[in-house]
Structure 1
Amino acid sequence: MNTDLKFYYALFLQRLPVMAVIFAVFTALGIALALTLPPRYRAEAILVVEGSKIPVDLRAFEDETEATEQLQIMEKQLMTRSNLIDLANRHRVFAGEVGMTPDDVVERMRELTDIELVSGRDRATIMTVSFLSGDAKTSADVVNDFVTIVLKADAETRIAGSGDTLEFFDQQVQRYSGDLSRQSEKIVAYKEANKDALPEEQTYRLSQQTSLQDRLNLADRDLASLRDQRARLLAVGEASGVPTVNMTPDQQQLSDLENELNAALAIYSETNPKVTILQARIASIKRRMMRSGTTPSTDAEGSPTSVASTMLDLQLAEIDSRIDYLEKEKVRTEADMQKLRVAIERTPSVAIGLQALESEYASLQIQMNQAVAARAAARQGVEIESAAKGQRISVLEQATQPSAPNSPNRKLVAGGGVFVGTALAAAFFGLGELLNRTIRRPIDLSRALGVQPLVTIPFLEEETARRRRRILKTVFTIAMLIAVPAALWAVHTFYLPLDLLIEDLMARVGL
């Protein structure tokens, strides 16, 4: 065991110069990076989603998107290509860097910008926006512009959303109003086309039908009575020997008009227009009869008729006139009853059609009332959003110009250089021993050949070989001194600045 320790100690002393070079290179590189890396300033602002200040029962159409969803939408809007390029150009974020394409600008802006959302049950929804820049003022200005974009977009979204809702319900109200007007016109036209069979007048038609039926029955009874009376008069006249004279049409008409005139004079005065007309017609008929040689009181042979015969003829004429009137009245009554019967039979179908139209009108009226109420609520939502009393995003903490750089952590960078140098030096020693399979000790010979040697003679190295070995060590050391800084410079220049790379590595390991 002591022999092994002495061996490794001697080996350590042998390789110590190279290990010291490796350690010194990386330690110096770490210290140099810590001293030369440009400072990075980080400004941040905190936004919070405030709940609505309006009572729940008044928020019918307030545009109240889920808070987390709202902030996620805002995050996507902030990270759009146009926004990032505009902010980079406005604040000259990359003024010292040349040859950057728009794609490079967008990629770098997204790397330098950090947006963090914090939400949870029974917790406020918070957005933290931060930006990393080599200039303190630039970092604060960029973050404040981000905040301005968020607040402006939030206000526009809320007002536009409630305005769109109001416009929609305005259109709904106008559409339902037009539908109601057209439906009302349909109902009026339908009622006009079926005015004789409307259901609301069915009771009146039934009572009128009963009245007409009673009138028809009465007319039948009166006709039967008059026909019976006429038959009796004829029978009495024949039995008494009173001849019946067949009156001419003019005589019959004259008799009817005289009877009508007598009835009118019993009611009206002689100056009444109706009486005057009847007298004129009677005079006209008499003149016509005088011209034709016919007299009201002559029989077929020209002798005067008896008083009894005249009275009989007058009674018969009156009965015939009443019979004719009742028959005409019966015809009119039957026609009216037929119209009523048709109207009564049509009423159920008319009622069904009218009910369908009125039901559609009532449905439209309900929708109209709902649309009007919704429009009022939407208008209230517009007023709420305009007054900024609804759910909105507000600034909890404005971004201020940082007084000290946020990165790099110079102590950490220097310590990292020391750690890397130590680790690489130890790796050089360990790997060199693991990869070296040459026989340098008696125990190595025993392990390789499986025999116990009696005596061992050490390897005597020639001066030329020793010189070659020293040259190789020197070349390797110089190569390491050149290659390692060159590799770090290439990473810093062509891939990612070392401070950002270190931050990314620290974030990945959770430091």
Structure 2
Amino acid sequence: MIADIKFYFSLFLRRFHYFLLVFIICATTGAVLAFTMPPVYRAQARLLVESPQIPDDLASSTVRAGASELLRIIEQRLLTRANLLDIARRLAVHPEVSEMSADDIVEDMRERIIISLPLDGQTTGLVFVSFDAQSAETSAAVTNDLLTQILQQNVELRTTVSGQTLDFFEQEVDRLDAELAEQDARILEFKLEHSDALPESLDYRRTRLAALQERTLQINRELAALRDRRGRLVELFEQTGRLDLNEASLPPEQRQLRELQEELASALVIYSPSNPRVRNLRARVAALEDIVAGQLEGTAGRRAELLTAYDLQISDIDGQISFLAEQKDLVEIEMQDLRQTINTTPQNALALGTLERDYENLQAQFNRASESLSEARTGDRIEALSKGQRIVVIEQATVPSGPFRPNRKLIVAGGVAGGMGAGFGLIFLLELLNRAIRRPVDITKGLGIKPFATLPYTRTSGQKTMRWFTILLVLLTVGLGVPAAIYYVHLNIMPVDQIIERAREMAGI
């Protein structure tokens, strides 16, 4: 075991110049990179997203967007092309701005700005804002500028949203109020146009129609009675010349004549016309008729007086008949109008119901809009006084005392460690590929024979001197040439940090 260790150590010493070459290249490259890469300063500011100061169950803000959503909106506004160009030129972020295009400036600014947002659903959380720059003052200035813009954007977003909500509901309330007034005017116009055929007066009109029907029957009865009375009066006057049939007012002869006429009529029912009793009654009736006729001729003046009274009564009865006929016509016209309005009432009820339902719907919308307007006013007041969810500054960005990157010690240590690993790896690879026989055990394993003795290869002193001189020359060339080449590329072609960034982009890292 000890012999193997010594053997491998001797192999390492024989290949030491390869190890040293790789080690010098890696370590020198790491050191050059560590000291040629420009320093990057990172100033950081901290913000806190606070919960609303007024509980939502008492009064809530009309800004429903969460903190994460608002911060993402603010972040996108900050990273707009115009804003980044303005920050870069206003704060002189790029000294070589004249040599850079606008696209390069925007891309570089977006890569340097770092905004750490809280997780979705969190009402509170920390927000970190930082900016990488080659100058500590520039990093702090840009970070504080971004901080100021975040606060302004937050206030502007929240007040804008609450203000737009308030404006919307104010316009909505005004619109619904105007529509309510128009609908109320339509209902009033419809009621005035169909005032005699509205549903609320249907029971009255039906009761009125029944009363008019009763009135028509009463008028018909009165007309029949007046017409009958007029006919009897005319017949009485034509037969008797009198205006009434009162027995007490008749002369004795006329009363006796009426009695004999009644007795004759009764006798004719029982006896034949040739009966002596019948003939006797007829003779007596004829005699009395002559007497009565003489009496009537003697009262011609009185008949003229009766005719005048008769005309007055007939005229009065005719007037009453005419009046009742007119009343009947008016009642029938009113009944016809009532029937027409009753028939059109269901259609009017449907139309009026539609108008009233539209009015009720508008009223419900108006009530909801009024409630929402009240909430919007409260929410706008909350945002105006900054009593809702807000972003406050915990710590502003200060000028960093040292660069954030590169970590020069780590890069140098990485170069050294990488050089050692690569050197050992190269030696291991060379020995793995070398199949030469170096020890007696290799002869035994390879040929299957056991040698009596082995003689090592011995170089002359000149060969040894030349070999070490060559190795030293190569090491010096590499140790000085590689850093010089890197430095030349860094100064005249492209900075090393940009080369590394492009290499990372091409590698997709």
Which of 365, 368, 380 is residue 367 of structure 1 equivalent to? Answer: 365
- Taking structure 1 as the reference length, the TM-score comes to 0.76
Number of equivalences: 447
Counterpart residue type for residue 177 of structure 1: D
Deviates more, 1:7-16 or 1:17-26: 17-26
Check if 1:410 corresponds to 2:408: yes
Per the alignment, residue 39 of structure 2 pairs with 39
Instruction: State the distance in 1 between where 2:170 and 2:119 align.
Output: 37
Written as runs of structure 1 = structure 2, the 5 A alignment for 1:381-400 is: 381-400=379-398
- RMSD over equivalenced CA pairs, Å: 3.6
How big is each residue's C-alpha offset from its partner over 1:159-200, in whole Å with a ceiling of 9 and x where there is no partner? 111111122112212221222222122212211221211122
Q: 1:71 maps to which residue?
A: 71
- For 1:107, the equivalent position in structure 2 comes to 107
- Distance in 2 (CA, whole Å) between partners of 1:498 and 1:481 is 24
Shift of 1:81: 2.7
Following superposition of structure 1 onto structure 2, how do residues 464-475 of structure 1 map, counting pairs within 5 Å?
Answer: none
2:63 alignment partner, SS class:
coil
Alpha-carbon distance in 2 for matches of 1:156, 1:500: 41
C-alpha distance 45-433 of structure 1, shift in aligned 2 (>3 A): same
- Inter-partner Cα distance in structure 2 for 1:436 and 1:373: 91
Shift of 1:453: 6.1
Determine if contact 1:93/1:138 at 8 Å carries over to the other structure. Answer: yes
Residues of 1 paired with 2:320 and 2:84: CA distance?
A: 109
Tell me the equivalent position of 1:174. 174
CA positional deviation for 1:467: 9.6
**5+ residue gaps, structure 2:** 244-299
Residues 15 and 208 of structure 1: is their aligned pair in 2 closer, same or farther, counting only changes over 3 Å? same
Query: Quick check: 157-166 or 467-476, which moved more?
Result: 467-476
Partners of 1:344 and 1:488 in 2: how far apart?
Answer: 108
| Contact 1:30–1:418 (Cα < 8 Å) also in 2 | yes
Alpha-carbon distance change, 37 to 313 in structure 1, aligned in 2, over 3 angstroms? closer
Written as runs of structure 1 = structure 2, the 5 A alignment for 1:318-467 is 318-448=316-446
1:14-39 Cα shifts (integer Å, max 9, x gaps): 22233234334544554455555543
CA deviation profile, 1:217-271 (whole Å, cap 9, x unmatched): 221111111112112212322331469xxxxxxxxxxxxxxxxxxxxxxxxxxxx
Q: CA contact under 8 A between 1:47 and 1:128: conserved in structure 2? A: yes
Match of 2:246 in 1: none
Conserved in 2, the CA contact under 8 Å of 1:71 and 1:127?
no
How far residue 333 of structure 1 moved from its aligned partner, in angstroms, is: 1.0
Contiguous gaps of at least 5 residues in structure 1: 244-301
SS at match of 1:118: coil
Name the structure 2 match of 1:135: 135
Q: Does 2:240 align with 1:240? A: yes
- Indicate the larger mover: 169-178 or 433-442: 433-442
Distance 1:122 1:196, change over 3 A: closer
For residues 13-412 of structure 1, the aligned pairs below 5 Å read 13-31=13-31, 33-34=33-34, 37-95=37-95, 99-119=99-119, 124-241=124-241, 306-412=304-410
Contact 2:47 / 2:395 at 8 angstroms: preserved in 1? yes
CA separation of 1:132 and 1:386: change in aligned 2, threshold 3 A: same
Q: State which drifts further: 217-226 or 67-76.
A: 67-76
- Distance in 1 (CA, whole Å) between partners of 2:376 and 2:342 is 50
The separation in 1 between residues aligned to 2:105 and 2:448, in whole angstroms, is 67
Mean CA deviation greater in 475-484 or 408-417: 475-484
* Paired AA for residue 17 in structure 2: P
Tell me whether 71-80 or 439-448 shows the greater mean CA deviation: 439-448
Corresponding letter in the other structure for 1:376: S
2:296 equivalent in structure 1 = none
**Structure 1's 87 and 498: CA in aligned 2 closer, same or farther, altered over 3 A?**
same
Q: For residues 177 and 323 of structure 2, what CA distance do their matches in structure 1 show?
A: 56
| Preserved contact between residue 68 and residue 125 of structure 1 (Cα < 8 Å) | no
Structure 1 residues 443, 142: closer, same or farther in 2, change over 3 A? same
Q: Distance in 2 between matches of 1:328 and 1:93?
A: 107
Residues 356 and 52 (structure 1 numbering): CA distance in 2 closer, same or farther, change over 3 Å? Answer: same
Distance change (3 Å), C-alpha of 1:454 and 1:358: same
Question: How far has the Cα of 1:424 moved from its partner?
Answer: 2.1
Deviates most, 468-477 or 61-70: 468-477
Q: CA deviation at 1:145?
A: 0.6
The structure with more radius of gyration: 2
- Structure 1 counterpart SS, 2:406: coil
Partner Cα separation in structure 2 for residue 498 and residue 448 of structure 1:
54
The percentage of counterpart residues that share the same residue type is: 39
TM-superposed deviation, 1:470: 7.0
Amino acid of the structure 1 residue aligned with 2:353: Q
TM-score norm. by structure 2 comes to: 0.77
Look up the equivalent residue of 2:324 and give its one-letter code: L
Paired residues of 1:60 and 1:378 also in contact (CA < 8 A):
no
Where 1:497 maps in the other structure, the secondary structure is helix
Between the aligned partners of 1:491 and 1:485, the Cα distance in structure 2 is 10
Equivalent position SS for 1:65? coil
Task: Give a deviation string over 1:126-174, Cα, whole Å, max 9, x none.
Answer: 2101122222211110100111111111111111111111221122122
